[in-house]
Amino acid sequence: MRNKVLSLAALAAIALAIVLAPVAAHARGALVGVPDAYQPGTIVVKTGERHLFLILGGGAAIMYPVGVGRAGMQWSGASVIDGKYIQPAWEPPPDIRRENPKLPPLIQGGSPNNPMGVAAMTVAGTDYAIHGTNEPSKIGHFVSHGCIRMFNEDITDLFGRVGLGTPVVVQ
């Protein structure tokens, strides 16, 4: 009898754990229609709209909300993804250190103070990256020094969909 009671208690505990387990976050990307102006697989950032589009082809794209460069810190052009990093460390560049002299010289990946979030993809020929964020409330705004910030769930989704050499167009 004792084993049956323990078994029932164990089963009840497992069932409760399943019911109360946190649900995985879902990417906020939405499937949208777009003109066929870009090859499938291209990342297009529309700074003024504060959206990033992953072109799927056939007039479709996945649209993600992003944070973009503040006035005077925006850039545009075409390049490719030249690096992909999970839990990247961050070394504040000189202009950011001038604004925030109390920043440490290096913030380790995974730290809650690391503005790169859970993943980053660097853009060739620039000092910029498409990356997650530790400040999700800033997504949808003009907030960065030029990088493209995404919700951590969204950069994780995009990271898994693209590879090195993926074209990036920033408008």
User: Which residues have a catalytic role annotated?
Assistant: 131, 147
Residue type, 52: L
CA dist., res. 142 & res. 149, Å (int): 10
Among candidates 147, 155, 140, 148, which has minimal Cα distance to 93? 147
How far apart are the C-alpha atoms of 23 and 17, rounded to whole Å? Answer: 12
How far CA 122 is from CA of 12, 31, 84, 116, in Å, comes to: 47, 24, 7, 11
Confirm if 64 and 56 have CB atoms less than 8 A apart: no
State how beta strands 60-69 and 119-123 pair.
unpaired
